[in-house]
Amino acid sequence: MLRRALLLMTMALAALALAVSPAFAGEEPPPQPVPVPVPVPVPVPTPVPTPAPAPSPPVASPTATLHVSRGCTSSDHAKASVTGTSIASVSFFVDGKKVATRSTSDNGAFSSSMSCSRLTFGAHSAKAVATFQNGTHKTLAFRIVRTRPARPQFTG
């Protein structure tokens, strides 16, 4: 009986030890809960409207204006000049032949003159071709008319 009482006591202690500590019974302890990080709210930046770009000033188109002398007699010179904006050079043509090119202006005018004695009497086609700094061209056409000088009237 004593034996039986000892056996029961031993079993009761073993059961108590198992209830108190699983490691005592040779088992792994239950995993401890891992703390889950609480997400920290990240402030979302409020979009700031981007101002519209300032309008660029309109690009002015280059200009060229032709000025020609009137009349061409044997003792005169036919004169032509071109004024304007953004002009790089001006070439002058008479009857399809280039007679001059000017790449510098004289007080803002690109000028050329030709002795009228180099022309035959009558009308001649002429043009000035302005080349602008942006590479474009403008052709300005005109006519040169060589006339005979008036004969003096003798009275007597």
100-154 pLDDT per residue, tens: 999 988 888 999 998 988 889 999 999 999 999 999 999 999 999 888 877 777 7
Rounded to two decimals, the pTM is: 0.59
pLDDT digits (tens, 9 = 90+) for 44-63: 777 888 888 888 777 678 99
Can you give the pLDDT at residue 70?
73
Token digits of residue 22 = 């699983």
Asked if 64 contacts 87 with a C-beta cutoff of 8 angstroms, the reply is: yes
Pair of tokens at residue 82: 């071109």
Q: For domain 63-146, give the CATH number.
A: 2.60.40.10
Report the SS3 class of residue 15: helix
Question: Phi/psi class of residue 137: alpha, beta or left (left: φ > 0; alpha: ψ in -120 to 50)?
Answer: beta
CA atoms within 13 A on the CB side of 121: 4
Distance (Å) of CA 118 to CA 92, 106, 122: 15, 24, 12
CA distances for 12 relative to 5, 9, 17, 18, angstroms: 10, 5, 9, 10
